[in-house]
């Protein structure tokens, strides 16, 4: 078997892997990159980007529905086929352009998942590869529950490629992905059910805002079944039947499609990490502050597959850059978690940054909490929005903003203002002196620092 040697061999071609590969080859290292799927990674091909292309149409449909009879005579009809064609124009170009850019830089490409043979070698495309360093940047993959009939379950990839909107759909799991797609399909006229093991949805977010969002989901006729354990699924003539248990009692539910949205796990199953003495668990490849494997110093991990990460593309790029720096100069840069905002792209959107109320109260002696439902404010009333809420957390001693959560049409944009405020340790008194354009959702932010 032929043996090739590289300075750096990267596994995974998303933003994290690409960032490492590009920086290393630009510093005259011999680099290769491998991926078992289309080049470009999850976000661009089958995640954030195509999802948001589609969501803009459902946002438009929901928006015009609210404005019917006050200026909109007829709600527009969407062509799902045209929407899919439009989305595909973006996604189809990603693998081709990614491979072209990498090849032009002089990076060798492999189209298969490597397998570690030992601590120093991998096997890929019939070749044995050695390298000074291996970089694991394989991201995460959707999980499915280990139940009877699990082969009938579909995942988020399948939703993005639907040929037509199903009459009914069920989601197992009420995290980001399940709630976002449940929201989307409900707006498109699908009868949607969410089966949740716990007693709340989106447990990463503040309960006050989550309950407000849930009211909006109720108005969209999204049926959420709580405290339910799914035990099996089976194929019927037209539908798929799902069996679940609540308080030891069995129930059945049927729909045309059933999606597993219980979460994602590190995509390492095919790598045979044990053979290379690479420690990993449910959080990913166990790394130190330099994003280097704690058990195999020839290996780095970055992006979602790292044990020190969050599922966010900009963070993957940051980690990729740090790994490259540590390859080029040993232990030259530690990874420190930045303040990372997160958003659930429902209608309205739910966004958060910084500490939650509970976290702040554990950290600080005195905390001030500003919260409110302000659907009566102008920005909400002018577009007939029924849901507009916020919660902002202040360290009373310093008057600094330490956390914020927003539920509004523009939450995903406005949360970035709080990112800047928190990173710069801005005080409420300073924030309130800033001038924003008016009328705008940004201008509302200053008015949130009062009781309503």
DSSP 150: G
**For residue range 366-406, what is the model confidence (pLDDT) as tens digits?**
999 999 999 999 999 999 998 999 999 999 999 999 999 99
Count of beta carbons in the 10 Å neighbourhood of residue 126: 8
**For residue range 243-267, what is the model confidence (pLDDT) as tens digits?**
999 999 999 999 999 999 999 999 9
Using alpha carbons, select from 289, 320, 292, 321 the residue that is nearest to residue 304: 320
**For residue range 408-426, what is the model confidence (pLDDT) as tens digits?**
999 999 999 999 999 999 9
The residues facing 10 across adjacent strands are 33, 135
Q: What's the confidence (pLDDT) of residue 315?
A: 86
Mean pLDDT on 33-41? 95
Q: What's the confidence (pLDDT) of residue 3?
A: 75
Share of the chain above pLDDT 90, in %: 94
Model confidence at 313, pLDDT cuts 50, 70, 90, reads low
Cα–Cα distance, 383 to 111 (Å, whole number): 49
Model confidence at 182, pLDDT cuts 50, 70, 90, reads very high
Mean pLDDT on 287-314? 91
**Length of the chain, please?**
452
Q: What's the confidence (pLDDT) of residue 209?
A: 97
Q: ∠49-54-58 over CA atoms, to 5°?
A: 140
Q: What's the confidence (pLDDT) of residue 1?
A: 56
pTM of the model: 0.93
Cα–Cα distance, 291 to 288 (Å, whole number): 5
Domains along the chain? Answer: 3-140+265-328 (3.50.50.60), 150-262 (3.50.50.60), 348-448 (3.30.390.30)
> 82 to each of 89, 159, 164, 230, how far by Cα in Å?
11, 16, 11, 35
In this structure, are residues 16 and 319 in contact, taking their beta carbons and an 8 Å threshold?
yes
Using alpha carbons, select from 380, 393, 410, 399 the residue that is nearest to residue 448: 393
Q: What's the confidence (pLDDT) of residue 99?
A: 96
Cα–Cα distance, 128 to 33 (Å, whole number): 14
Q: ∠345-304-12 over CA atoms, to 5°?
A: 115
């Amino acid at each position: 078997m032929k043996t090739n040697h590289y300075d750096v061999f990267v596994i995974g071609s998303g933003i994290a892997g690409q960032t490492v590969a590009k920086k290393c080859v630009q510093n005259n290292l011999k680099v290769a990159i491998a991926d078992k799927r289309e080049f470009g990674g999850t976000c661009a091909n089958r995640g954030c980007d195509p999802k948001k292309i589609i969501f803009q149409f459902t946002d438009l449909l929901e928006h015009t529905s609210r404005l019917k009879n006050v200026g909109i005579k007829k709600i527009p009809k969407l062509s799902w086929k045209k929407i899919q064609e439009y989305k595909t124009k973006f996604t189809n170009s990603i693998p081709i352009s990614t491979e072209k850019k990498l090849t032009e830089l002089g990076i060798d490409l492999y189209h298969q998942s490597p397998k570690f043979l030992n601590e120093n070698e991998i096997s890929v495309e019939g070749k044995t590869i050695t390298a000074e360093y291996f970089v694991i940047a394989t991201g995460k993959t959707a999980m499915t529950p280990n139940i009877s009939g699990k082969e009938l379950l579909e995942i988020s990839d399948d939703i993005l490629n639907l040929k037509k909107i199903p009459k009914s759909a069920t989601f197992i799991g009420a995290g980001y992905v399940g709630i976002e797609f449940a929201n989307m399909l409900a707006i498109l006229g699908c009868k949607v059910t969410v089966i949740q093991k716990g007693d709340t949805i989106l447990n990463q977010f503040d309960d006050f805002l989550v309950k407000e969002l849930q009211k909006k989901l109720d108005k969209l006729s999204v049926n959420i079944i709580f405290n339910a354990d799914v035990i099996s699924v089976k194929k019927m003539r037209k539908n798929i039947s799902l069996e679940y248990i609540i308080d030891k009692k069995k129930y059945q539910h049927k729909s045309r499609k059933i999606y597993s949205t219980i979460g994602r796990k590190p995509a390492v199953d095919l790598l045979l990490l044990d053979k290379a003495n690479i420690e990993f668990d449910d959080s990913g490849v166990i790394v130190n502050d330099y994003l280097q494997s704690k058990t195999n110093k020839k290996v780095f991990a970055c992006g979602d597959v790292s044990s020190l990460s969050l599922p966010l593309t900009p963070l993957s790029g940051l980690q990729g850059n740090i790994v490259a720096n540590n390859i080029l100069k040993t232990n030259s840069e530690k990874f420190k978690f930045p303040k990372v905002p997160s958003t659930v792209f429902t209608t309205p959107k739910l966004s958060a940054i910084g500490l939650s109320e509970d976290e702040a109260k554990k950290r600080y002696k005195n905390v001030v909490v500003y919260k409110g439902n302000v659907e009566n404010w102008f920005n909400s009333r002018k577009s007939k929005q029924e849901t507009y809420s916020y919660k902002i957390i202040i360290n009373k001693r310093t008057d600094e903003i330490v956390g914020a959560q927003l539920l509004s049409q523009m939450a995903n944009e406005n949360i970035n203002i709080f990112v800047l405020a928190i990173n710069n340790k801005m005080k409420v008194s300073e924030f309130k002196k800033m001038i924003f354009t008016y009328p705008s959702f940004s201008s509302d932010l200053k008015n949130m620092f009062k009781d309503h």
